[in-house]
């Protein structure tokens, strides 16, 4: 059975898309730690980060860097943090989180956003993708 992220990549479940290429897809996290919290996912369905083949791993990091630079340009923050957890969704994803303090990195402090706010944030980040 496909993971929820494969369904998002295939457009079966909607997402606030940030970027896409042949191998990777980025979209806003639906339950963000902070405004601009984004997930970068390989289209290849693999559960654990360290099980990715070398090329996909390096490609995911390069794609995440590109998306992270766009987030930094679009969202006011001290810096963009990167973390990989994967305890909830068994499909590798890099969390890119705009950080202003440690609370933004804990996954215990969440931000509630309306669909209009998600749409506006995604547009702002997309506009900064190089």
Both tokens of 109, joined, read 């402090």
Give the span between the Cα atoms of 35 and 16, in whole angstroms: 13
Select the residue interacting with ligand 5GP from 2, 85, 109, 127 (CB under 6 A). 85
Minimum CB separation from ligand 5GP for residue 71, in Å?
15
Q: Which of 31, 58, 100, 119 binds ligand 5GP (CB under 6 A)?
A: 31
Which is nearest to 44 in space by CA: 57, 34, 33?
A: 57
The verdict on 15 binding ligand 5GP (CB under 6 A) reads yes
Per the DSSP assignment, residues forming a β-bridge with 39 are 27, 95
The whole-angstrom separation of Cα 110 and Cα 8 is 22
Smaller CB separation from ligand 5GP, 13 or 62:
13
With beta carbons less than 8 A apart as the criterion, state whether 29 and 38 touch: yes
Q: Which of 52, 89, 105, 120 binds ligand 5GP (CB under 6 A)?
A: 89
Q: Give min distance, CB of 26 to ligand 5GP, in A.
A: 10
Active site members: 93
């Amino acid at each position: 059975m496909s993971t929820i992220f494969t369904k998002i990549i295939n457009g079966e479940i909607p997402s606030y898309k940030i970027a896409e290429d042949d191998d990777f897809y980025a979209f806003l996290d639906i339950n963000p730690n902070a405004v601009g919290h984004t997930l970068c996912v390989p289209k290849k369905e693999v559960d654990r980060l360290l099980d990715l083949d070398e090329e996909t791993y390096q490609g995911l990091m390069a794609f995440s860097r590109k998306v992270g630079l766009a987030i930094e340009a679009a969202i006011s923050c001290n810096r963009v943090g990167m973390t990989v957890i994967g305890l909830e969704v068994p499909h590798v994803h890099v969390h890119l989180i705009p950080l202003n303090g440690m609370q933004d990195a804990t996954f215990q402090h969440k931000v509630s956003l309306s669909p209009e706010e998600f749409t506006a944030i995604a547009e702002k980040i997309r506009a900064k993708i190089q």
